[in-house]
Copies of this chain bind each other. A is one copy, B any other.
Amino acid sequence: MTARAADLHQAPDYGRAFALWRAACPADWARYMRHPFVEGLRDGSLPQTHFLHYLVQDYLYLIHYGRAWALGVVKAQTVEEMRACAATVHALIVEETALHLRLCADAGIDLVAMQATPERRENLAYTRYVLEAGYSGDFLDLMAALAPCVFGYGEIGARLLAEAGDTPYRPWIETYGGAEYQAVCRTVGALLDQALELRLGPDWHSLPRAGQLAERFTMATRLEGDFWQMGMEP
């Protein structure tokens, strides 16, 4: 059994849309899941300079990613969707960035330095793609573009928590592999599945719209792969 096949067999259960869209871009998803950056987190071989470079860019990423989830509040159709998106904004711009700030502070990088770091082109491409998808499309277009980040980090975190040996990146792994983040993935998966049914009915996967949304998911998955690659090139 190849690594890729193995990877695709280990999909966590984050709902139906995730399962379908993930299966629609196997090569792109595998590149994202098994990128050398990820393997370097797992076995500890990733140089600290690469990790810190990635972490600062990811902090800048989370600001725009939080903005995109806030756009979800604006574009929601129900109060439940609004609340779910608003809670995610809070989790991103308060809780998740706390990890970044703490790990960077431990390495002597303060907030001012983080905020003054220029955004790398791979970072800009990804965040603007997601925001533009949300502005130009509707709630579903936005969710499809937001999904690979949430679910992919969940899948990587879960695998690495099970597989990782002695690695200095354990705090990172425990954040994304831990129960709290895994619950976020399931909640977002349910939000997404319900949003699809609410608008497109139970057979949404057979509509042309489903292909268009899967393309959004695929492109964001590719941009996640690019982001790891950027992490290797400080």
Chain A interface (Cβ < 8 Å from any Cβ of B): 63, 66-68, 70-71, 73-77, 79, 82-83, 85-86, 89-90, 93-94, 115, 121, 124-125, 128-129, 131-132, 135-138, 141, 197-201, 206-209, 212, 219, 226
| Complex contacts, A201 vs chain B, CB 8 Å | 206-209
Give the residue of B63, B79, B128, B137 whose beta carbon is less than 8 angstroms from that of A82: B63
| Complex contacts, A197 vs chain B, CB 8 Å | 208
| Complex contacts, A138 vs chain B, CB 8 Å | 136-138, 141
| Complex contacts, A132 vs chain B, CB 8 Å | 128, 131-132, 135
Known: A73-B73, A86-B90. 16 other contacts (CB 8 A): A70-B74, A70-B86, A73-B89, A79-B93, A83-B94, A89-B89, A121-B125, A121-B226, A124-B125, A125-B128, A128-B129, A131-B135, A200-B200, A201-B206, A201-B208, A207-B207
Chain B residue at minimum C-beta to C-beta distance from A135: B135
CA distance A93 to B85 in the complex (A): 12
CA distance A71 to B70 in the complex (A): 7
